[in-house]
Amino acid sequence: MAAINTMEKKLAEYKCDTNEAICMKLVRFPEDVEDDSTTFHPEFSHQVYGDDEVAFGYKGLQIQLFYTAGNLSTLFKVKYSSKVTETFDCVEPDDIEGKIREIIPAGFTCNSDDFISLLEKEANFQPFGTLLHTYTVHSEDAGELTYQIHKVDVNCAGFHDYHKRLQTFLMWFIETASFIDADDDRWDFFLVFEKYNKDGETLYATVGYMTVYNYYVYPDKTRPRVSQMLILPPFQGEGHGAQLLEAVHRFYCSLPKVQDITAEDPSESYVKLRDYVLVKLCQGLPSFTADKLPLGFSADMAKEAQDKLKINKKHARRVYEILRLRATDMSDEDKAREYRLEVKKRLFGPYRKNQREMAKMKKCLRPEELLSHVDQMDTQTQHEELEKSYQVVVEDYRRIIERIATHA
């Protein structure tokens, strides 16, 4: 038994956390390749290396996935200090390289010098598609930086291969990501680029992107549905996601055939970002003025949000709640109570559904079966859960209000 434990300990030395082992870069200059400060790591690697996100068989494992900043030409290298087969017979290491090769498209290089030579071609890279929006972000290090948002369709020359490289980032930064069929012409692509200077030339770096699928709505409308959205890690926290979402929303608002704009299985962070953008867009609408907010969510609000901004009723209701919170003096007990009841009325929907289900159960279940469901539907528990939900919602709303005030 002791010998087995000793062997397990020795083999454990050959296990590596794949989130730490994978080293990624967006390279602009040759010196970036050896600069550790430009390295970032995945948030997830379970879709490639399994749920435990562990690779076995190597000490000091480093999986390099470096990309040129614009065209995303790729360097893929695996480095390690020792391999398990050098010490133990009949113990096979994981196929580290094979799993990466399954997700990155052909055309990458495994040679650092060849990769650095590809940087010289970055001056030829130009953003794909049609320019939708230009904006600037102030950087303490670099001053005013300029960014562009472009709309691209699948037929744009060179885009297909570029997109194959771009979408590999999804596997590392979106928990349940999957690659899409980019040949379907119902897909729209929106890309964000940074303009930067290198040796007196203007170059472009890839910042992030969004994919949107256009569904048919009877009889003559479409419903754009956001499928994937990613701002690459070196650019996160700088407001690019809000700029991208707002530009995309304004684009679809300009199309008369669009019914409304939705998202497929949105993450919590995406919902918060969408709330922020939609509040920015709606706050100037006549039906959402401060004097009308205390009167409750109205049909006029739903209609105006739908007609002018392609916002569906569900999302318009959240916008109303945020704007009403901003306009409400929560230190006034009566006004605070009115607001709390208004929000809880919406949140109570699932609990009301449970009550209807309970009524049905009483008609068809035996007493002992009914008893097993009663605890789940206890009224006191419902009230407690409702209050918790309300507090979480209001806290999220306050953050959005603060962000809008900061960027006003």
User: Is it the case that residue 2 has pLDDT exceeding 70?
Assistant: no
pLDDT value of residue 6? 66
- High-pLDDT (> 90) share of the chain, %: 78
pLDDT score of 12: 82
For the chain, what are the domain ranges? Answer: 1-122, 126-263, 266-346+377-407
Q: State yes or no: pLDDT of 279 exceeds 50.
A: yes
Identify whether 102 is a catalytic site residue.
no
CATH of domain 126-263: 3.40.630.30
- The 3-state secondary structure of the chain, one letter per residue: CHHHHHHHHHHHCCEEEHHHHEEEEEECCHHHHHCHHHCECCCCCHHHHCCCCEEECEECCEEEEEEECCCCCEEEEEECCEEHHHCCCCCCCCCHHHHHHCCCCCCCECCHHHHHHHHHHHHHCCCCCEEEEEEEEEECCCEEEEEEEEEECCCCCCHHHHHHHHHHHHHHHCCCCCCCCCCCCCEEEEEEEEEEEECCEEEEEEEEEEEEEEEEECCCEEEEEEEEEEECHHHCCCCHHHHHHHHHHHHHHCCCCECCCEECCCCHHHHHHHHHHHHHHHCCCHHHCCCCHHHCCCHHHHHHHHHHHCCCHHHHHHHHHHHHHHHCCCCCHHHHHHHHHHHHHHHCHHHHHHHHHHHHHHHHCCHHHHHHHHHHHCHHHHHHHHHHHHHHHHHHHHHHHHHHHHCC
Which position has the higher pLDDT, 154 or 224? 224
Average pLDDT over residues 121-136: 97
Beta strands in 245-376 (DSSP E): 262-263
pLDDT (0 to 100) of residue 92: 86
The mean pLDDT value for 131-135 works out to 98
What local confidence, expressed as pLDDT, does residue 352 receive?
54
Q: Is the pLDDT of residue 71 over 60?
A: yes
pLDDT of residue 176: 85
Query: Is residue 371 scored above 80 in pLDDT?
Result: no
The domain over range 266-346+377-407 is classified in CATH as 1.10.10.390: yes
pLDDT value of position 367: 58
Q: How confident is the model at residue 13 (pLDDT cuts 50, 70, 90)?
A: confident
Catalytic residue chosen out of the listed positions 13, 97, 264, 402: 264
In tens, the pLDDT along 213-242 reads: 999 999 999 999 999 999 999 999 999 999
Mean predicted confidence (pLDDT) in 351-373: 53
Q: Identical fold at 1-122 and 266-346+377-407?
A: no
pLDDT greater than 80 at residue 343? yes
- Average pLDDT, rounded, for the chain: 91
Give the confidence band of 42 by pLDDT, cuts at 50, 70, 90. very high
pLDDT of 8: 73
> Residue 355: pLDDT band by 50, 70, 90 thresholds?
low
Architecture of domain 1-122: Alpha-Beta Complex (3.90)
Would you state the pLDDT for residue 365?
55
